[in-house]
Chain A
Amino acid sequence: DIQMTQSPSSVSASVGDRVTITCRASQGISSWLAWYQQKPGKAPKLLIYAASSLQSGVPSRFSGSGSGTDFTLTISSLQPEDFATYYCQQANSFPLTFGQGTKLEIK
């Protein structure tokens, strides 16, 4: 199985800040990576697919980059509605696996 490791596990930031979350795969996955946002009590929401493609309807302050084993999700200017938990998921091979999550909290 491909292990996905996110860092940090949690981060505190303020509205307007730029935040970067990292995801590392245990083996190369090309660009077969997705990012999700999950708010308490809600299902995850697809933000980014193919490492850097923005899902329709997702604000442009979200961006993704990387290939191979190292990936990043960047939020350029945090908005109040962005405080949530973020997960990466590899879509290179079965079994599909997720990172452990990064909780983005208000400072």
Chain B
Amino acid sequence: QLQLQESGPGLVKPSETLSLTCTVSGGSISSSSYYWGWIRQPPGKGLEWIGSIYYSGSTYYNPSLKSRVTISVDTSKNQFSLKLSSVTAADTAVYYCARHGTMVRGSWFDPWGQGTLVTVSS
């Protein structure tokens, strides 16, 4: 079955760039039927969609983060990645990767990775 796994540093300094990778196993990231997304959840708070990418490289970003976010895909490694620049303590969160449908109408997330906590602190 399809599995997603986030990886990357758990601690990032303020003003630096957060970088995470999601590795997809049990299926191809090059499927024409899906987008691959990033969602985050600050400790004790709700869920925020960050952005999504198609295997061709087409992206959608949340306007609230768009100026700082870059999502990329490496189909040869079956991975996609997140970069968030100029981080502050407000970016401390559990970051999840997940799959969703290609049409915006019907973009529910399933499955999800287990999540990785990224703390922004000096």
Contacts and interface: CB of A to CB of B under 8 A. Distances in A.
A16 to B, nearest CB: 29
Provide the main secondary structure of the chain B interface: loop
Interface residues of A, number: 26
A96 B49 contact: yes
Contacts of A43: 96, 98, 112-115
Interface residues of B, number: 25
Chain B CB within 10 A, most for which of A30, A42, A49, A50: A49
A97 interface: yes
Contacts, number: 67
A34 interface: yes
Contacts of A55: 110
B63 interface: yes
B104 A89 contact: no
B62 interface: yes
Nearest to A92: B105
A8 to B, nearest CB: 15
Interface of A: 1, 30, 32, 34, 36, 42-46, 49-50, 55, 87, 89, 91-101
